Amino acid sequence: MSPATLAPPTPRLAARADIPAMHAVRLAVRENVLRSADVTEAAYVDAIEATGRGWVVEADGRIVGFAVGNHLTGNVWALFVDPSHEGRGIGRALLDATLGSMQAAGVDRAWLSTEPDTRAQRFYERTGWFRTGTRPSGEAAYERVTPPANPVAGLSIRVDDLRGPAIAALLTEHLADMHRISPPGSVHALDLDGLRKPAITFWCAWDGDALAGCGALKALDAGHGEVKSMRTAHSYRGRGVAAAILAHLLEFAARRGMRRVSLETGSMDFFAPAHRLYERFGFARCGPFGDYVEDPNSAFMTRTLP
């Protein structure tokens, strides 16, 4: 029977009795090879009973893949498939089960690391993970947020020269909102001319011919970037457009070698959805940076990149 005709794999919760078979799969993989003796039976027990949950898939009467998610830290602690059972959808089924259990436990931002230039890395990039940098170990670092209920399929995020009428209209609307909500002197949104600077890279998100949203990254220096001009068109709100743009910006910043990304947004209730989005992506409150000064109408946030 070919992999295409096999029944879809159905993960089940891992139990303590599964640990020897799970570890056998861990030792059998050809990528992300275990190099430490620290992964003991006690570590497995803690991972599947105390800090999170594990999932296994069985075939031919034995465990051929497993995954473990940490419900406290959001880390996908393990995801491994026996090489003889690769290409059968087992990894995807295990990842979906793991993320589902983590989301049910209140995790809205998951992270992991994997060896670069591997099949595993390509798998994560295909399944919605965005790269945030490189860890000291040399592994590629990735993150993923909870997907929206009605995501935009086929969203295309492209660098834009700010010449088209659609983006001019969206930014005009954005500036009007900022001036309506924030008092004079507390509006830091940039107009078209302000965004056409060498230090700023600007993107538009397109759903076919429809403009769904935009965002920009300003290089404050070689290691520090600032998020600017995040805006979603009204008809696309709540569909993951802003999250997709922000993920794209962070991945770009990491590729550029930036170690920190910061932003300024309003402090009023109008901006609460933006605050929640940034917090989901690991941003935390901070003081003014760059040329900003303390302002009760501003909220400053920052995060590091691995």
Taking only the tens place, the pLDDT of each residue in 172-215 is: 999 999 999 999 889 999 999 999 999 999 999 999 999 999 99
**Is pLDDT larger for residue 284 or for residue 133?**
284
- What is the pTM (predicted TM-score) of this model? 0.69
Residue 1, pLDDT score? 43
The DSSP 8-state label assigned to residue 183 in this structure reads P
Average pLDDT over residues 19-42: 87
Residue 6, pLDDT score? 55
CATH number for domain 3-145, candidates 3.40.50.970, 3.40.630.30, 1.20.1250.20, 1.10.10.10 = 3.40.630.30
Copy the structure tokens of residue 186.
């507390």
Residue 26 contacts residue 67 (beta carbons within 8 Å): no
Average pLDDT over residues 69-92: 94
Copy the structure tokens of residue 204.
């538009």
Q: With a cut of 90, say whether residue 147 has pLDDT above it.
A: no
How far is the C-alpha of 303 from the C-alpha of 266, rounded, in Å?
A: 18
Range with lowest mean pLDDT among 121-130, 143-152, 262-271: 143-152
| CB burial of residue 256 (10 Å; 0-12, 13-18, 19+) | middle
CATH fold group of domain 156-304: Aminopeptidase (3.40.630)
Q: With a cut of 90, say whether residue 66 has pLDDT above it.
A: yes
Average pLDDT over residues 59-88: 95
- Residue ranges covered by each domain of the chain: 3-145, 156-304
Nearest to 299 by CA among 290, 151, 274, 281: 274
**Is pLDDT larger for residue 205 or for residue 306?**
205
